[in-house]
Amino acid sequence: MILASPTVRPVTPLGTAFRQSVRDALRKSAAARGLDGVLLLSPANVFYACGFNFSVNERPIGLYVPVEGEAKLYIPLLELENAEPVDGVELGIYEEFPGLVHPVVWMLDQAKARRVAIDVLDARQLDPLRTLLDEVLLEDLALPLRFIKTEAELELTRIAAGYADLCLARLHSEAGNIISQGGSELDLLADCTGFALAALKRDYGLAFAGTKLGISASVHSGPRAALPHGSTSSRRPQVGDTLISGVGASLGGYHAESGATLIVGDVSAEQRRVMIAMEACNDAGVGALKPGSRCQDVNEAALDALRQADLGDTIRHRIGHGMGLEGHEAPWLAPGDMTEVLPGMVFSNEPGVYRPGLDGFRTINTMLVHPDHVEIPSRFLATTPIDQRAIAL
Protein backbone atom coordinates (compact mmCIF):
# COMPACT_ATOMS: atom_id res chain seq x y z
CA MET A 1 0.00 0.00 0.00
CA ILE A 2 1.38 3.43 -0.97
CA LEU A 3 1.04 5.95 1.85
CA ALA A 4 0.91 9.65 1.12
CA SER A 5 3.23 11.77 3.24
CA PRO A 6 1.87 14.97 4.77
CA THR A 7 2.02 18.06 2.60
CA VAL A 8 5.36 19.82 3.07
CA ARG A 9 4.77 23.30 4.47
CA PRO A 10 7.00 26.37 4.15
CA VAL A 11 8.21 26.60 7.75
CA THR A 12 11.60 27.33 9.28
CA PRO A 13 12.94 27.04 12.83
CA LEU A 14 11.85 29.76 15.24
CA GLY A 15 14.27 32.63 14.84
CA THR A 16 16.02 35.43 16.67
CA ALA A 17 12.93 37.62 17.04
CA PHE A 18 11.02 34.84 18.79
CA ARG A 19 13.87 34.13 21.22
CA GLN A 20 14.23 37.84 21.95
CA SER A 21 10.54 38.10 22.75
CA VAL A 22 10.92 35.24 25.25
CA ARG A 23 13.86 36.93 26.95
CA ASP A 24 11.96 40.23 27.10
CA ALA A 25 9.04 38.46 28.79
CA LEU A 26 11.44 36.89 31.29
CA ARG A 27 12.95 40.30 32.06
CA LYS A 28 9.49 41.72 32.68
CA SER A 29 8.58 38.81 34.98
CA ALA A 30 11.84 39.15 36.94
CA ALA A 31 11.47 42.93 37.29
CA ALA A 32 7.93 42.50 38.63
CA ARG A 33 9.38 40.34 41.42
CA GLY A 34 12.13 42.79 42.28
CA LEU A 35 14.86 40.49 40.93
CA ASP A 36 18.07 41.22 39.05
CA GLY A 37 17.55 38.40 36.57
CA VAL A 38 16.68 34.80 35.76
CA LEU A 39 18.99 31.79 35.46
CA LEU A 40 17.58 29.02 33.27
CA LEU A 41 19.14 25.58 33.72
CA SER A 42 16.44 23.35 32.24
CA PRO A 43 17.59 22.30 28.74
CA ALA A 44 14.09 22.96 27.36
CA ASN A 45 14.04 26.45 28.87
CA VAL A 46 17.52 27.27 27.55
CA PHE A 47 16.43 26.23 24.06
CA TYR A 48 13.19 28.18 24.41
CA ALA A 49 14.94 31.42 25.33
CA CYS A 50 17.96 31.33 23.00
CA GLY A 51 17.60 28.42 20.56
CA PHE A 52 20.71 26.52 21.71
CA ASN A 53 20.11 22.80 21.19
CA PHE A 54 22.72 20.67 22.92
CA SER A 55 23.50 17.18 24.15
CA VAL A 56 22.30 16.96 27.75
CA ASN A 57 24.85 15.48 30.15
CA GLU A 58 26.35 16.11 33.56
CA ARG A 59 27.89 19.44 32.48
CA PRO A 60 25.40 22.24 33.32
CA ILE A 61 24.50 24.78 30.67
CA GLY A 62 22.76 27.93 31.83
CA LEU A 63 21.25 31.04 30.32
CA TYR A 64 21.27 34.13 32.52
CA VAL A 65 18.76 36.79 31.48
CA PRO A 66 19.29 40.03 33.42
CA VAL A 67 16.60 42.65 33.79
CA GLU A 68 19.11 45.08 32.25
CA GLY A 69 21.77 44.10 29.74
CA GLU A 70 22.58 41.23 27.40
CA ALA A 71 21.78 37.61 28.16
CA LYS A 72 24.75 35.36 28.82
CA LEU A 73 24.96 31.70 27.82
CA TYR A 74 27.21 29.75 30.19
CA ILE A 75 28.74 26.63 28.66
CA PRO A 76 31.53 24.12 29.22
CA LEU A 77 34.53 24.60 26.96
CA LEU A 78 33.73 21.57 24.81
CA GLU A 79 30.51 23.29 23.62
CA LEU A 80 32.27 26.46 22.45
CA GLU A 81 32.03 25.85 18.71
CA ASN A 82 28.44 24.62 19.00
CA ALA A 83 27.38 27.72 20.94
CA GLU A 84 29.19 30.38 18.90
CA PRO A 85 26.40 30.67 16.27
CA VAL A 86 23.71 31.42 18.89
CA ASP A 87 22.34 34.92 18.29
CA GLY A 88 21.60 37.52 20.94
CA VAL A 89 23.76 36.17 23.77
CA GLU A 90 27.25 36.59 25.15
CA LEU A 91 29.20 33.44 26.00
CA GLY A 92 30.66 32.55 29.38
CA ILE A 93 32.91 29.49 29.43
CA TYR A 94 33.96 27.18 32.24
CA GLU A 95 36.65 24.55 31.77
CA GLU A 96 35.11 21.29 32.96
CA PHE A 97 32.76 19.56 35.38
CA PRO A 98 32.77 19.21 38.38
CA GLY A 99 35.48 21.86 38.78
CA LEU A 100 36.85 23.39 41.96
CA VAL A 101 33.68 25.52 42.07
CA HIS A 102 30.41 23.98 40.92
CA PRO A 103 29.50 25.43 37.48
CA VAL A 104 26.12 26.74 38.67
CA VAL A 105 27.75 28.61 41.55
CA TRP A 106 30.35 29.90 39.08
CA MET A 107 27.61 31.10 36.70
CA LEU A 108 25.91 33.19 39.35
CA ASP A 109 29.20 34.59 40.57
CA GLN A 110 29.93 35.65 36.98
CA ALA A 111 26.46 37.19 36.64
CA LYS A 112 27.19 39.65 39.49
CA ALA A 113 23.55 39.51 40.54
CA ARG A 114 22.16 39.51 44.09
CA ARG A 115 18.53 38.52 43.57
CA VAL A 116 17.89 35.73 41.06
CA ALA A 117 15.14 33.28 40.03
CA ILE A 118 16.35 29.77 39.11
CA ASP A 119 14.12 27.26 37.33
CA VAL A 120 15.73 24.01 38.58
CA LEU A 121 18.46 23.51 41.15
CA ASP A 122 20.33 20.65 42.76
CA ALA A 123 19.55 21.00 46.46
CA ARG A 124 23.25 20.61 47.24
CA GLN A 125 23.93 24.00 45.62
CA LEU A 126 21.37 25.90 47.66
CA ASP A 127 23.60 26.65 50.67
CA PRO A 128 26.57 27.89 48.58
CA LEU A 129 24.23 30.15 46.63
CA ARG A 130 22.68 31.60 49.77
CA THR A 131 26.12 32.85 50.78
CA LEU A 132 26.59 34.39 47.33
CA LEU A 133 23.13 35.90 46.78
CA ASP A 134 20.68 37.98 48.80
CA GLU A 135 17.66 36.19 47.34
CA VAL A 136 17.21 32.87 45.53
CA LEU A 137 13.72 32.40 44.10
CA LEU A 138 13.23 28.75 43.13
CA GLU A 139 10.58 29.34 40.49
CA ASP A 140 10.42 28.48 36.80
CA LEU A 141 9.51 31.83 35.25
CA ALA A 142 9.71 30.38 31.73
CA LEU A 143 7.09 27.68 32.29
CA PRO A 144 3.98 29.94 32.27
CA LEU A 145 5.27 31.50 29.05
CA ARG A 146 5.64 28.07 27.49
CA PHE A 147 2.01 27.20 28.33
CA ILE A 148 0.76 29.56 25.60
CA LYS A 149 2.09 28.78 22.12
CA THR A 150 2.36 31.32 19.33
CA GLU A 151 0.95 30.52 15.90
CA ALA A 152 4.45 29.63 14.71
CA GLU A 153 4.82 27.11 17.56
CA LEU A 154 1.37 25.67 16.83
CA GLU A 155 2.28 25.22 13.17
CA LEU A 156 5.31 23.11 14.10
CA THR A 157 3.02 21.04 16.34
CA ARG A 158 0.54 20.50 13.49
CA ILE A 159 3.26 19.28 11.18
CA ALA A 160 4.71 16.95 13.81
CA ALA A 161 1.25 15.44 14.34
CA GLY A 162 1.07 14.57 10.66
CA TYR A 163 4.22 12.44 10.89
CA ALA A 164 2.96 10.71 14.05
CA ASP A 165 -0.12 9.84 11.98
CA LEU A 166 2.10 8.61 9.15
CA CYS A 167 3.82 6.23 11.56
CA LEU A 168 0.45 4.80 12.60
CA ALA A 169 -0.72 4.54 9.00
CA ARG A 170 2.41 2.55 8.13
CA LEU A 171 1.84 0.23 11.09
CA HIS A 172 -1.79 -0.28 10.07
CA SER A 173 -0.90 -1.05 6.46
CA GLU A 174 2.12 -3.32 7.04
CA ALA A 175 1.39 -5.09 10.34
CA GLY A 176 -0.52 -7.94 8.69
CA ASN A 177 2.38 -8.81 6.39
CA ILE A 178 4.99 -8.51 9.13
CA ILE A 179 3.04 -10.63 11.65
CA SER A 180 2.21 -13.27 8.98
CA GLN A 181 5.93 -13.66 8.32
CA GLY A 182 6.60 -14.26 12.02
CA GLY A 183 7.39 -10.66 12.90
CA SER A 184 7.37 -9.40 16.48
CA GLU A 185 6.42 -6.16 18.19
CA LEU A 186 10.02 -5.06 17.72
CA ASP A 187 9.81 -5.70 13.98
CA LEU A 188 6.58 -3.70 13.75
CA LEU A 189 8.12 -0.83 15.69
CA ALA A 190 11.27 -0.71 13.59
CA ASP A 191 9.30 -0.68 10.35
CA CYS A 192 6.80 2.07 11.19
CA THR A 193 9.20 4.39 12.99
CA GLY A 194 11.87 3.97 10.33
CA PHE A 195 9.37 4.80 7.60
CA ALA A 196 8.01 7.91 9.32
CA LEU A 197 11.42 9.19 10.39
CA ALA A 198 12.80 8.84 6.87
CA ALA A 199 9.86 10.88 5.55
CA LEU A 200 10.29 13.56 8.24
CA LYS A 201 14.02 13.90 7.55
CA ARG A 202 13.44 13.95 3.80
CA ASP A 203 10.87 16.74 4.09
CA TYR A 204 12.36 18.91 6.86
CA GLY A 205 15.80 17.57 7.77
CA LEU A 206 17.78 20.16 5.86
CA ALA A 207 15.81 23.20 7.01
CA PHE A 208 15.72 22.02 10.64
CA ALA A 209 19.27 20.70 10.98
CA GLY A 210 20.51 21.29 14.51
CA THR A 211 17.06 21.24 16.11
CA LYS A 212 15.18 18.40 17.76
CA LEU A 213 13.51 16.35 15.04
CA GLY A 214 12.41 12.76 15.48
CA ILE A 215 9.93 9.93 15.91
CA SER A 216 9.49 7.79 19.02
CA ALA A 217 6.90 5.08 19.53
CA SER A 218 5.90 1.93 21.37
CA VAL A 219 4.09 -1.20 20.22
CA HIS A 220 2.75 -3.77 22.66
CA SER A 221 0.07 -6.39 22.30
CA GLY A 222 -2.20 -8.97 23.92
CA PRO A 223 -2.09 -9.24 27.72
CA ARG A 224 0.98 -6.98 27.75
CA ALA A 225 -1.18 -4.20 26.34
CA ALA A 226 -2.69 -4.01 29.83
CA LEU A 227 0.53 -2.31 30.95
CA PRO A 228 0.12 1.44 30.29
CA HIS A 229 3.89 1.81 29.82
CA GLY A 230 4.50 -1.66 28.46
CA SER A 231 7.80 -1.95 26.62
CA THR A 232 8.07 -3.27 23.09
CA SER A 233 9.21 -6.90 23.08
CA SER A 234 9.98 -9.87 20.87
CA ARG A 235 6.43 -11.16 21.32
CA ARG A 236 4.57 -12.00 18.11
CA PRO A 237 1.00 -10.61 18.18
CA GLN A 238 -1.72 -13.26 17.97
CA VAL A 239 -5.16 -13.34 16.35
CA GLY A 240 -7.67 -11.60 18.62
CA ASP A 241 -5.03 -9.44 20.35
CA THR A 242 -5.31 -5.75 20.88
CA LEU A 243 -2.17 -3.96 19.65
CA ILE A 244 -1.48 -0.53 21.12
CA SER A 245 0.84 1.97 19.47
CA GLY A 246 1.55 5.44 20.79
CA VAL A 247 3.66 7.72 18.60
CA GLY A 248 5.43 10.96 19.41
CA ALA A 249 6.90 13.20 16.72
CA SER A 250 8.91 16.39 17.05
CA LEU A 251 9.85 19.16 14.63
CA GLY A 252 11.94 22.16 15.55
CA GLY A 253 11.77 20.96 19.16
CA TYR A 254 7.94 20.90 19.30
CA HIS A 255 6.09 17.67 20.09
CA ALA A 256 2.81 16.10 19.03
CA GLU A 257 1.30 12.65 19.56
CA SER A 258 -1.03 10.23 17.86
CA GLY A 259 -1.97 6.76 19.01
CA ALA A 260 -4.36 3.93 18.29
CA THR A 261 -5.42 0.46 19.31
CA LEU A 262 -5.54 -1.99 16.42
CA ILE A 263 -7.05 -5.48 16.50
CA VAL A 264 -5.23 -8.50 15.06
CA GLY A 265 -7.98 -10.16 13.02
CA ASP A 266 -11.63 -9.20 13.29
CA VAL A 267 -12.92 -6.70 15.85
CA SER A 268 -15.06 -8.58 18.38
CA ALA A 269 -18.27 -7.22 19.88
CA GLU A 270 -16.56 -6.67 23.25
CA GLN A 271 -13.59 -4.92 21.68
CA ARG A 272 -15.95 -2.69 19.72
CA ARG A 273 -17.86 -1.85 22.93
CA VAL A 274 -14.67 -0.75 24.66
CA MET A 275 -13.47 1.23 21.66
CA ILE A 276 -16.81 3.05 21.41
CA ALA A 277 -16.52 3.98 25.10
CA MET A 278 -12.99 5.27 24.50
CA GLU A 279 -14.23 7.37 21.60
CA ALA A 280 -16.87 8.86 23.91
CA CYS A 281 -14.13 9.56 26.46
CA ASN A 282 -12.04 11.33 23.82
CA ASP A 283 -15.02 13.41 22.70
CA ALA A 284 -15.93 14.36 26.27
CA GLY A 285 -12.37 15.60 26.81
CA VAL A 286 -12.54 17.71 23.67
CA GLY A 287 -15.93 19.09 24.70
CA ALA A 288 -14.71 20.07 28.17
CA LEU A 289 -11.49 21.71 26.96
CA LYS A 290 -12.73 25.28 26.81
CA PRO A 291 -10.98 28.51 27.80
CA GLY A 292 -11.80 29.26 31.40
CA SER A 293 -12.24 25.64 32.46
CA ARG A 294 -9.80 24.02 34.89
CA CYS A 295 -7.45 21.26 33.78
CA GLN A 296 -8.65 19.01 36.60
CA ASP A 297 -12.26 19.36 35.48
CA VAL A 298 -11.41 18.42 31.89
CA ASN A 299 -9.88 15.20 33.20
CA GLU A 300 -12.98 14.37 35.23
CA ALA A 301 -15.38 15.08 32.37
CA ALA A 302 -13.44 12.81 30.04
CA LEU A 303 -12.97 9.89 32.42
CA ASP A 304 -16.63 9.99 33.45
CA ALA A 305 -17.43 8.62 30.00
CA LEU A 306 -15.47 5.45 30.84
CA ARG A 307 -17.16 5.17 34.22
CA GLN A 308 -20.58 5.45 32.56
CA ALA A 309 -19.61 2.53 30.32
CA ASP A 310 -18.81 0.37 33.40
CA LEU A 311 -15.09 0.68 32.72
CA GLY A 312 -14.17 2.79 35.73
CA ASP A 313 -12.08 0.02 37.27
CA THR A 314 -9.91 -0.14 34.13
CA ILE A 315 -8.68 3.47 34.42
CA ARG A 316 -4.96 3.71 35.24
CA HIS A 317 -4.03 7.30 34.37
CA ARG A 318 -5.14 10.88 33.69
CA ILE A 319 -6.66 11.86 30.36
CA GLY A 320 -3.77 13.98 29.17
CA HIS A 321 -0.73 16.22 29.56
CA GLY A 322 0.66 19.37 28.08
CA MET A 323 3.04 19.24 25.12
CA GLY A 324 5.53 21.64 23.64
CA LEU A 325 9.30 21.61 23.93
CA GLU A 326 8.94 18.48 26.04
CA GLY A 327 6.77 15.50 25.17
CA HIS A 328 5.25 15.66 28.67
CA GLU A 329 5.05 19.06 30.31
CA ALA A 330 2.69 21.13 32.43
CA PRO A 331 -0.13 21.88 32.61
CA TRP A 332 -1.65 18.45 33.26
CA LEU A 333 -5.19 17.29 32.53
CA ALA A 334 -5.16 15.48 35.84
CA PRO A 335 -6.46 15.60 39.42
CA GLY A 336 -5.00 18.51 41.35
CA ASP A 337 -4.08 20.74 38.42
CA MET A 338 -6.21 23.88 38.78
CA THR A 339 -4.58 25.67 35.84
CA GLU A 340 -7.06 27.62 33.75
CA VAL A 341 -7.30 26.45 30.15
CA LEU A 342 -6.32 29.25 27.75
CA PRO A 343 -6.11 29.63 23.97
CA GLY A 344 -2.72 28.53 22.66
CA MET A 345 -2.35 25.58 25.02
CA VAL A 346 -1.55 22.12 23.63
CA PHE A 347 -2.61 18.86 25.27
CA SER A 348 -2.74 15.14 24.61
CA ASN A 349 -6.06 13.26 24.89
CA GLU A 350 -5.39 9.66 25.97
CA PRO A 351 -8.35 7.44 26.85
CA GLY A 352 -7.05 4.15 28.26
CA VAL A 353 -8.67 0.89 29.29
CA TYR A 354 -6.42 -1.69 30.96
CA ARG A 355 -7.53 -5.19 32.01
CA PRO A 356 -4.56 -7.06 33.53
CA GLY A 357 -4.09 -10.55 32.21
CA LEU A 358 -6.52 -9.92 29.34
CA ASP A 359 -5.93 -6.84 27.18
CA GLY A 360 -5.45 -3.10 26.98
CA PHE A 361 -6.64 -0.21 24.82
CA ARG A 362 -5.37 3.34 24.37
CA THR A 363 -5.88 6.07 21.79
CA ILE A 364 -4.08 9.42 21.57
CA ASN A 365 -4.97 12.72 19.94
CA THR A 366 -3.20 16.08 20.05
CA MET A 367 -5.44 19.02 20.97
CA LEU A 368 -4.78 22.71 20.25
CA VAL A 369 -6.95 25.13 22.21
CA HIS A 370 -8.50 28.08 20.34
CA PRO A 371 -10.88 30.73 21.72
CA ASP A 372 -13.97 29.03 20.24
CA HIS A 373 -12.94 25.48 19.35
CA VAL A 374 -10.41 22.67 19.80
CA GLU A 375 -8.25 21.80 16.81
CA ILE A 376 -7.19 18.15 16.39
CA PRO A 377 -4.14 17.98 14.08
CA SER A 378 -3.69 14.23 14.64
CA ARG A 379 -6.11 12.66 12.14
CA PHE A 380 -5.53 8.89 12.20
CA LEU A 381 -8.43 8.14 14.53
CA ALA A 382 -10.81 10.43 12.63
CA THR A 383 -9.95 8.92 9.25
CA THR A 384 -9.80 5.30 10.45
CA PRO A 385 -13.14 4.31 12.02
CA ILE A 386 -13.25 1.57 14.64
CA ASP A 387 -14.24 -1.22 12.25
CA GLN A 388 -11.29 -0.32 10.02
CA ARG A 389 -8.75 -0.69 12.82
CA ALA A 390 -8.36 -4.39 12.13
CA ILE A 391 -5.14 -6.06 10.99
CA ALA A 392 -5.87 -8.71 8.37
CA LEU A 393 -3.51 -11.70 8.37
Sheet holding 390-391, edge to edge: 214-221, 242-251, 254-264, 390-391
Rounded percentage of the chain residues whose pLDDT exceeds 90:
94
State the average pLDDT over residues 298-325. Answer: 97
Rounded percentage of the chain residues whose pLDDT exceeds 70:
99
State the average pLDDT over residues 30-36. Answer: 97
The 3-class SS string of the chain reads CCCCCCCCCCCCCCCHHHHHHHHHHHHHHHHHCCCCEEEECCHHHHHHHHCCCCCCCCCCCEEEEECCCCEEEEEEHHHHHHHCCCCCEEEEEECCCCCCCCHHHHHHHHHCCCEEEECCCCHHHHHHHHHHCCEEEECCCCHHHHHCCCHHHHHHHHHHHHHHHHHHHHHHHHHHHHHHCCCCHHHHHHHHHHHHHHHHHHHHCCCCCCCCCEEEEEEEEHHHHHCCCCCCCCCCCCCCCEEEEEEEEEECCEEEEEEEEEEEECCCHHHHHHHHHHHHHHHHHHHHCCCCCEHHHHHHHHHHHHHHCCCHHHCCCCCEEECCCCCCEEEEECCCCCCECCCCCEEEECCEEEECCCEEEECEEEEEECCCCEECCCCHHHHCCHHHCEECC
Amino acid symbol at 139:
E
Check whether 211 has a pLDDT greater than 90: no
244 and 361 Cβ atoms separated by less than 8 Å: yes
For residues 330 and 230, which has the higher predicted lDDT (pLDDT)? 330
Check whether 333 has a pLDDT greater than 80: yes
pLDDT of residue 154: 98
State the average pLDDT over residues 54-68. Answer: 96
> How confident is the model over 356-382, as pLDDT tens digits?
999 999 999 999 999 999 999 999 999
Q: Which residues pair with 322 in a beta bridge?
A: 329, 347
CA dihedral 188, 190, 192, 198 (to 10 degrees): -170
pLDDT of residue 262: 98
Mean pLDDT, rounded, of the chain? 96
159 and 6 Cβ atoms separated by less than 8 Å: yes
Q: Residue ranges per domain, the chain? A: 16-146, 148-391
pLDDT of residue 155: 98
State the average pLDDT over residues 341-351. Answer: 98
> How confident is the model over 85-106, as pLDDT tens digits?
999 999 999 999 999 999 999 9
Check whether 244 has a pLDDT greater than 80: yes
pLDDT of residue 1: 62
State the average pLDDT over residues 206-233. Answer: 92
pLDDT of residue 4: 79
The values of phi and psi at residue 55, to 5°, are: -80, 120
Check whether 297 has a pLDDT greater than 70: yes
Question: 330-360 burial string, b = 16+ CB within 10 Å, else e?
Answer: bbbbbeebebebeebbbbbbbbbbbbeeebb
pLDDT of residue 229: 87
Nearest Cα to Cα of residue 152 among 287, 253, 274, 277:
253
pLDDT of residue 388: 96
Query: Residue 281 and residue 270: Cα distance in Å, rounded?
Result: 17
**At 231, is the pLDDT very low, low, confident or very high (cuts 50, 70, 90)?**
confident
State whether CATH 3.90.230.10 applies to domain 148-391: yes
State the average pLDDT over residues 324-338. Answer: 97
272 and 353 Cβ atoms separated by less than 8 Å: no
> How confident is the model over 135-193, as pLDDT tens digits?
999 999 999 999 999 999 999 999 999 999 999 999 999 999 999 999 999 999 999 99
**Overall CATH class of domain 16-146:** alpha beta
